[in-house]
Amino acid sequence: MAQSSTPGASAETSSRPVCLDPATAKPPARRTSRAARWRTFVLVLVHVLVAIHIAHWLTTGSTVSPLEPSEAMRFSKESVINAGLVFFALAALSTLVLGRFFCGWGCHVVALQDASRWILMKVGIKPRPLRSRWLALVPLGAFAYMFLWPFVVRIALGGELGPVETEMTTEGFWDTFPGLVVGVTTLFVAGFVCVYFLGAKGYCTYACPYGALFGFADRFAPGRIRVTDACEQCGHCTQTCSSNVRVHEEVWRYGMVVDAGCMKCMDCVSVCPKEALYFGFGRPAVGAKPAKPARGKLPKLSFVDEAILLVAFAAAMACFYKPMPFLFALGVSSVLALVVLQCVRLARGRDVGFVRWSLRRDGRLTRPGGVIFVGLAIVIGVWWLHTGLVRVARIVAERGYESTAYLMSGTDPYADPVALQPEDEAVVRRALAASRFVDTVDLRRDGTNAIRLSWLSWLLGDEEAASHHLEQALRWSPENRVLRADAVRFYVSRNDTDAALRIVRENADADADGPASRLRYATILAGLGRLDEAAGEFTLARERWPDDEDVAVAFGNFERERGNPDVAIEILRSAVAARPNAVNARRELGLALASVGRAEEGLGHALEAARLAPERADVLAALAAVHLAVGEASEALERVKAALALDATSVEAYRVLARILHSRGDLEGSAEARARAESLSAGRAGAASFDMRSE
């Protein structure tokens, strides 16, 4: 294809049509883009790869961390490099060379918006773009908030920006994604709603934080849509562009497309009847100056209109961000800003329309368009005001709740009752009133406010109300492990063992944290003297996780403590056979063998455990116990000293030391060591039976 050294020059000749005036010229008939088919194929392939990625995680339980730009926030917040950051960086670097190809050919949200636009046009609705200069700055602010602001906060708080960690794989693939309902709703808003109200690529233009970076990088890219002297300014390119770019005007003035909104979809290239457009490399858009004056101007929003959009957007974000995820709130707020602007126009104008609807004609509302719009606007306004009221109420309730934090004993909110002074009671009652107001006006049931109501009621001595709200919180937030741990503590404080056990059993049945929840339940049953039930739970755990070392050790200890050392030895021996480097199993096997008079055999396992983990005080203490059982008191003493050097609070080491000193006739020293062990043990006993926070 011949290419002129002065692109667009021939468009000045009198034989060519003049540049289309956007205010007066009739656009040409839409032509079918050949590139659209290829782009559709590529975008479908992208979604197939996403499905394969998810399937790999479901099959193996671990996979590459999500290839999602938002994952890069972990680097901003925690200096963690993951696959999402690498993917985002590579996409940005490619944009510096090729322009915004990734947006047009690889983004699932762009695919969704294009599909939404296609469907709307099939039913006769042609989305019209909102051309706001101020609202278009939102993506830049969103990018700064997501990726730059965390660095500012870390520096301001005196935190370090390193060291850098790498986590390229993950087991919790969905941990950073919203739930199904929120996810589907977000896609619907980013797709149909934003396209209908804001125009094609409306979410990209007024909400997408990643687009801000890609748009900036595009300015420096040598790869652009360029033009030859065959261009006749027919306007087919602009008519086909789904990114709202005035292609024919830009190539007329600059010889290339300089608009950073161009996503290199290649639609304009494929529909050009003269094959005058092409993708090529040359000077970038940054610093480019027009060679020709503009012939036709797009109507611009007034200063007042721009201000209304920006203020309405800010007000919407203040209400909807937090109740909604950030990216969801950006899309909703952009749409609501336009709705507010339309309401102002409807109130002030004589003839007002929107998309293909006439809303007001000759100063009167039209039917049904105007009436329906006003009705929907009222509904939206009530929803908006209610959300804002709840948002403020929640902030007040949260601050009131935080003002009572000094009344909490350690990490246990349901410790011994607090003797409230009059000023303390006033603080609690104010916080309780704020939380009750939230409970009255908030339609959501996420459990957070119920937790506050429970504890505040408990502080005031109203155990019945505390129990009621705690049950509500458990129903509304069943996955909240800290809440469930607090609930267990609450029921223990009321001596309601059955209720506490019910929660722990639910965790075990749900495998809340793998075998740990089942072992915790079995251990609690054993501590309550319900040995047969405990044995059943240990057996179930071993059947479900036959190769888990912790299961074998816990089961072995249980059998040894209830007088079945031979059973314990067999359990531990099988664990060691399956995993020769199982330190805990070898340690416990050595102790179990020593307890039945087979100390020589046990010493081998204890020594091997110490070789595998020489830095662990509990392993050295167990080795000392086995040495003592063999009759090597001096060697046992040396091992205990080494254990205490590693951990001066080792209960196991002090107990063995007490036995060693007793064997040497040092009864006073033995008593002191035993007292020290009991003192340290008592400090840990409070949470031993029902503790779930420590896991």
For the chain, 695 residues long, the average pLDDT of each consecutive 10-residue run is 36 40 58 88 94 94 93 93 96 96 93 93 90 95 96 87 88 87 92 94 95 95 96 91 92 94 94 95 93 78 96 96 94 97 93 88 91 95 96 94 83 72 93 95 87 91 91 86 82 83 85 80 88 92 89 92 91 91 92 92 93 94 93 92 93 92 91 90 51 35
* pLDDT for the residue numbered 219: 96
Give the separation between CA 407 and CA 46, rounded to whole angstroms. Answer: 54
CA distance readout (Å), 550 to 517, 528, 553, 586: 12, 21, 5, 12
Q: What is the pLDDT of residue 693?
A: 34
Helices 422-441, 448-459: inter-axial angle, 10-degree rounding: 150
Predicted local confidence at residue 313, as pLDDT: 97
pLDDT score recorded for residue 690: 40
Cβ-contact 92, 213 below 8 angstroms: yes
Q: What tokens appear for 380 in the block?
A: 């939206």
pTM above 0.85, yes or no: no
- State whether the Cα torsion 161-163-164-169 is positive or negative: negative
Report which of 533, 544, 547, 518 is spatially closest to residue 692, judged by C-alpha positions: 518
Q: Which residues have C-beta within 8 Å of that of residue 625, sequence separation ≥ 6? A: 591, 594, 636, 656, 659
At 205 the pLDDT is 95
pLDDT of residue 143: 97
Q: Residue 160 has what pLDDT? A: 79
Among residues 693, 688, 687, 690, the alpha carbon closest in space to that of 504 is found at 690
Phi, psi of 677 (to 5 degrees): -65, -45
Residue with token string 């050595």? 590
Furthest C-alpha separation in the chain: 117
Please, what's the b/e burial string for 587-596 (b: 16 or more CB within 10 A of its CB; e: otherwise)? Answer: bbbbbbbbbe
The answer to whether 116 touches 190, Cβ cutoff 8 Å, is no
d(CA 275, CA 272): 5
Torsions phi, psi of 231, nearest 5? -65, 130
- Predicted pLDDT at 507: 82
* pLDDT for position 14: 34
> In residues, how long is the chain?
695
Give CA angle at 209 (208, 215), nearest 5°. Answer: 85
Q: Which residue has the tokens 């060519």?
A: 16
In the chain, the domains with their CATH numbers are 64-168+177-212 (no CATH), 303-398 (no CATH), 614-695 (1.25.40.10)
Quick one: which H or E segment has residue 600? helix 599-612
